[in-house]
Amino acid sequence: MFDVIVKNGVVVDPSQGIHEQKDIAMAHGRIVELRRCINASAARHVLNASGMVVTPGLIDLHVHCNANLMHLAIDPETACLLKGSTTVLDAGSTGELNFMGFRKYVIEKSKTGIFALLNIESLGMVEFARANQKWPELITGQDELFIDVEGTCEVIHQNRDIILGIKWAHHSLKGLALARRAADSSNCIVMAENHHQPICLKYLKNGDIITHLYHGLRMEQNDGLLTVDGKVQPEFYEALKRGVMLDLGHGAGSFDWKVAESGLSQGIKPDTISTDLHIGSINGPVYDMPTTMSKLMLLGMTLEEVIEASTFKPAKILGKQDHLGTLKEGAFADITILKDMKGKFPFFDTKGEGRIGKQKLETVGVIKRGKIVFNLFTVN
């Protein structure tokens, strides 16, 4: 007896090279069968996903979801899980001094699967407290007062099941050097924001991540992907060769159509698509993962590519590809059901510039560990 069967959907699972109509059967929180025509009478619940795209549960590799513990944070259950992200990576909202509260009061109580990067700054992202407060200046100029490498390593060691690496953002390069040191002694990855380029890239090794790939800030200073004359900085190609991963990290200030178009035309694609959801981006221009994936389709990536960059590739970065980001038999039964709408849809970048897309993905159903979280597409 199966717990749930999703029938008649178009399954897109890049981990197995699948893009065709198939049924998926689940039991005890895992995928048990994936093939044509599974007998519907053998299940407690049957969802008819005819006309829908069925994918592994989406994985958003950059969110801020320490809800109620940081004023910028969003609630993972409503902002992520209900929008199709069954697993997320919190990108450094907390540091070594306040991670345990995040773990106890949010991570352990959420249905959303939450992994975390520990901020190299001991208190996490306090720097954007209020417009009249000067935390960024203080922190950037005085890393040694806000960072404790030993304490950071200790908290990583104690929470290795959740913490997968270290986040460096809004700090000077001295902070990045300390993040590198902490990551090397903890044997974990670094996610660095795409600033202080091209020097920043020199600190990153195989498996590390650059986020905010297509931001268009301080371009006159070569601060991100492109030089002043619009060429990809050559150090990015070198970083790709040594296995550095490129993450979208859309956010409220880090997605610029022109930078994205230029980057893509010069061969720089995001390995992973992520939202950088926080209260400053959730009500536009980001909204959610499917909207962000739709923007990359507008830019020329295929449906398979955007799904791979939102499922299997982030799962590999998390080191969880046997259980997440795949519909292989034996994997966790995390599934996102998307409507692939055709028409004319406006999409905006973080500078307020618009483009019209012909396709828009919208989440209409989510299954987490074999349990139906919600279903807007079929009547049982």
Chain residues binding Zn ion by CB under 5 A are: 91, 276
Which of residues 314 and 365 has its CB atom nearest to Zn ion in the complex?
Answer: 314
The least CB distance from residue 301 to Zn ion, in Å, is: 22
> If residue 260 lies in a helix (H) or strand (E), which one and from where to where?
helix 257-265
Q: CB of residue 63 vs Zn ion: minimum separation in angstroms?
A: 8
Nearer to Zn ion by Cβ, of 197 and 254: the residue is 254
Cα angle value 226/231/235 (rounded, 5°): 65
Task: Pick between residue 93 and residue 336 the one whose CB is nearest to Zn ion.
Answer: 93
Nearer to Zn ion, 52 or 169 (CB): 169
Q: At its nearest, how many Å lie between Zn ion and the CB of residue 365? A: 28
Give the C-alpha separation, 260 to 250, whole Å. 11
Identity of the residue, 66 or 321, whose beta carbon is nearer to Zn ion in the bound complex: 66
DSSP assignments along 355-374, one per residue: EEEEEEEEEEEEEETTEEEE
**Which bin fits 50, alpha (ψ -120 to 50), beta or left (φ > 0)?**
beta
Closest distance of CB 74 from Zn ion, Å = 11
Distance between CA atoms of residues 253 and 224, nearest Å: 13
Nearer to Zn ion, 314 or 370 (CB): 314
Q: How far is the CB of 341 from Zn ion (least distance, A)?
A: 28
CA 99 to chain centre: 19
DSSP state of 100: H
Closest to Zn ion by CB, 91 or 331:
91
What is the per-residue DSSP string for 145-208? Answer: HHB-HHHHHHHHHHTTTTEEEEEE-SS-HHHHHHHHHHHHHHT-EEEEES-STTHHHHT--TT-
Closest CA to 296 of 210, 213, 193, 192: 213
Q: Shortest approach of Zn ion to residue 64 CB, angstroms? A: 6
DSSP E strands in the chain: the ranges are: 2-13, 18-27, 30-35, 43-48, 53-56, 58-63, 85-91, 113-119, 163-168, 189-193, 209-211, 245-246, 335-348, 354-368, 371-375
Contact indicator for 166, 188 with CB cutoff of 8 Å: yes
Q: Is 26 exposed, middle or buried (0-12, 13-18, 19+ CB in 10 A)?
A: buried
Q: How far is the CB of 48 from Zn ion (least distance, A)?
A: 38
Q: How far is the CB of 161 from Zn ion (least distance, A)?
A: 22
Give 15 or 254: the residue with its C-beta nearer to Zn ion: 254
Report the residue number, 26 or 126, with the smaller CB distance to Zn ion. Answer: 126
Distance CA 179, CA 222 (A): 23
- Rounded distance, CA 329 to CA 124, Å? 38
Tell me the closest approach of the beta carbon of residue 62 to Zn ion, in angstroms.
Answer: 6
Of 249 and 357, nearer to Zn ion (C-beta) is 249
CB of 236 to Zn ion, least distance (A): 20
State the DSSP string of 328-351. -TTSB--EEEEEEEEEEEEEE-TT
Q: Which residue is nearest to Zn ion (CB)?
A: 276
